[in-house]
Amino acid sequence: MRMAELSAESGVPVATIKYYLREDLLAPGERTSPNQARYDRSHLRRLRLVRALLEVGGLSVAQVRDVLAGIDSSPDAHAALGTAQSAITAVRGRRDEQTRAWAAGLLEEVASRHGWSLKPGNPVVDSALDTLAAFAELGHPELVARLDDYAGLADRVAELDLAGVSGRPEREGPERDSTVEAAVVGMVLGDALFAALRRLAQEHASSRAFRG
């Protein structure tokens, strides 16, 4: 299909498609003349994915590029998820060393109970430590008591995140992408979805707690 049809089919304006092409978020179409190119279903699919990651996932262009690289070039779905996780985890301002050491001890305890691995240099671990340290600095000791409960719920959410894809055997060839893509989409958009559901649930819980 031509760019105008790609735009009509996806609902993405032509100017935006051109921007994605310039930013390497979308592979170039097959040239049919100096000013025209042909696009296929794989372009349409990728275009929808890019738009969802940017608009719904709230990722930056650079993050989307890294996530796509993970989908396209990782040896398997587990590796692709790892690349995507690193790409979408922001590095935050560091807290003081003493508080971080306290947070590290706490997180190690929780991780060992839940079978999680805490690889040094993993941005996800850094992000967890910084968040725990920030809670401590703001004086929220009740959090420590609830951390294990949060971790247990995180396990159950993660199992749901993976459930849609892990049932399928990992495929080779053109089908491989769809397993990997589904896993990554489930993770990135799953964050946005769960955050939205949690806010609706919080409103309900807050209304009961404070307006009883």
Site for a copy of itself in 6-25 (CB under 8 A): 11
The residues in 32-71 that bind a copy of itself, with binding defined as CB under 8 A, are 48-49, 51-52, 55-56, 58
The residues in 132-171 that bind a copy of itself, with binding defined as CB under 8 A, are 132, 134-135, 137-138, 140, 142-143, 146, 149-151, 153-166, 170
CA distances from residue 3 to 20, 108, 183 in whole angstroms, order as listed:
12, 51, 28
Q: Minimum Å distance from CB 53 to a copy of itself?
A: 9
Judge whether 94 and 130 are in contact, CB under 8 Å. Answer: yes
What 144-148 contacts at long range (C-beta under 8 Å, 24+ apart), as own/partner pairs, is 144/106, 147/106, 147/110, 148/110, 148/113
Angle, helix 61-73 to helix 77-88, in steps of 10 degrees: 170
- Asked if 78 touches a copy of itself (CB under 8 A), the answer is yes
The residues in 173-202 that bind a copy of itself, with binding defined as CB under 8 A, are 182-183, 185-187, 189, 191-202
Nearer to a copy of itself, 61 or 127 (CB): 127
- Bridge partners of 176, per DSSP, are none
Rounded to whole angstroms, the Cα distance separating 28 from 8 reads 18
Q: How many residues bind a copy of itself (CB under 8 A)?
A: 85
Q: Minimum Å distance from CB 136 to a copy of itself?
A: 10
